[in-house]
Amino acid sequence: MKRFLKIIVIILIVLGIAFLIAPSYLLKAIIYQYAGIDDQYKFDIRVVKAGKAIPWKVSVNYNKYKLTDTIHKSIEAYKTIAYLVIQNDSIKYEEYWDHYSDSSVTNAFSATKSIISLLIGIAIDEGKIKSVDQKVIDFFPEFAEGYGKDLTIKNLLTMSSGLNWDESYGSPFSKTTQAYYGNDLKKLIMSLKVVEQPGKIFDYLSGNSQLLGFILEKATGKHLSDYASEKLWQPLGAEHDAIWYLDKKDGMEKSYCCFSSNARDFARIGQMVLDSGRYNGKQIISYQYLAQALTADTFLFDNNKQAVDYYGYQWWIVDYNGMKIPFARGILGQYIFVIPQLNAVVVRLGHKRDSVYKNNMPLDVYTYLDAAMEVLK
């Protein structure tokens, strides 16, 4: 018994020492474990201020269509909290689950990358960034070594940077985990090296989007949240303030993830994209940039040697029944679909997405589009 107690004491001492010397991000990762849509309490935040609200119009057929039981059960099985269908600038269908509503603020996760792409386009329109071909070393000479001297903004947008980023979500030691729970994104990003020739291989890396965030901050001289508020959120007539998670108090936005809002306001982003960069009669982003951003990077090949016909500038593109549908995508099934053929936008938010893929897309993507086709037919 005494020996057993001694072993327990030794184990506790070892664990205590490990706890004291472990990096702070690792301790947070151990404490919190999994990321969730309501993680705002874990982080410092910055508000993306809304301006004068432009309420959505409501269709005369609002919520008159009832989804089939099969589709409805499939949507619920993915722990959906919001499903919204917009057509012809009006809300045609919406449903919320649990305690969530049309004003609930939840994390968009990697759908944020699509927002970053839009902000890059706006900065180019304003002349704050020369073009997508401008080199990263113009902003950060730290990348001047080796392949880094050739790294461009386009390489970051198209996920073809060659950076030595570890995108693992399951490992507590990965750079993605460090980015999410750490408190010094600048140090983490500036420690990266370009280890492969840029512009050749598609490799989905959140570090690309975070570096784009730093470029935006440097090019505009503003916090991302403030720039997004001025150039995107207020012109879109958002009804509610959004929030953006930071790495620390008064720090940097997690630009690869963590823009947080509600389904109705997220839909405004889709509507603007649907309308070729215009919203409420104002051109927010140039049609030319959007056309490039929503065009698949077929000049790239992924690690399976497949031509990348499913990704543009931080926007995914799914082939659904012959329709090329661009969309923003987050890890727990945060989606903003843009369906030009039906003049429609679809938003889905929730806790879970399918782990099975078809044509580089999680299977639940097709479930939400199937549901939209029922509503829109």
- Per-residue tens of pLDDT for the chain, all 377 residues: 555 555 554 443 433 444 444 466 555 555 556 789 999 999 999 999 999 999 999 999 999 999 999 999 999 999 999 999 999 999 999 999 999 999 999 999 999 999 999 999 999 999 999 999 999 999 999 999 999 999 999 999 999 999 999 887 767 778 988 999 999 999 999 999 999 999 999 999 999 999 999 999 999 999 999 999 999 999 999 999 999 999 999 999 999 999 999 999 999 999 999 999 999 999 999 999 999 999 998 889 998 899 999 999 999 999 999 999 999 999 999 999 999 999 999 999 999 999 999 999 999 999 999 999 999 98
Task: Please tell me the predicted confidence (pLDDT) of residue 172.
Answer: 74
Strand partners, 279: 282
- The answer to whether 150 touches 135, Cβ cutoff 8 Å, is yes
DSSP three-state, residue 101:
coil
Strand partners, 180: none
Give the integer Cα–Cα distance in Å for 201 and 46: 34
**What is the architecture, at CATH level 2, of domain 39-376?**
3-Layer(aba) Sandwich (3.40)
Give the integer Cα–Cα distance in Å for 274 and 268: 10
Task: State how far the alpha carbon of 331 is from the alpha carbons of 145, 213, 313, 361, in Å.
Answer: 33, 19, 18, 12
- The domains of the chain are located at 2-32, 39-376
Residues whose CB is less than 8 angstroms from the CB of residue 187 and which lie 6 or more positions away in sequence, other chains included? none
Q: Are strands 80-87 and 57-58 parallel, antiparallel or unpaired?
A: unpaired
Nearest residue to 107 via CA among 177, 38, 178, 181: 38
Task: Please tell me the predicted confidence (pLDDT) of residue 67.
Answer: 94
Task: Please tell me the predicted confidence (pLDDT) of residue 168.
Answer: 77
Residues whose CB is less than 8 angstroms from the CB of residue 24 and which lie 6 or more positions away in sequence, other chains included? 181, 182, 183
DSSP three-state, residue 167:
coil
3-state percent breakdown (helix, strand, coil) of the chain, nearest 5: 40, 20, 40
- The answer to whether 50 touches 247, Cβ cutoff 8 Å, is no
DSSP three-state, residue 185:
helix
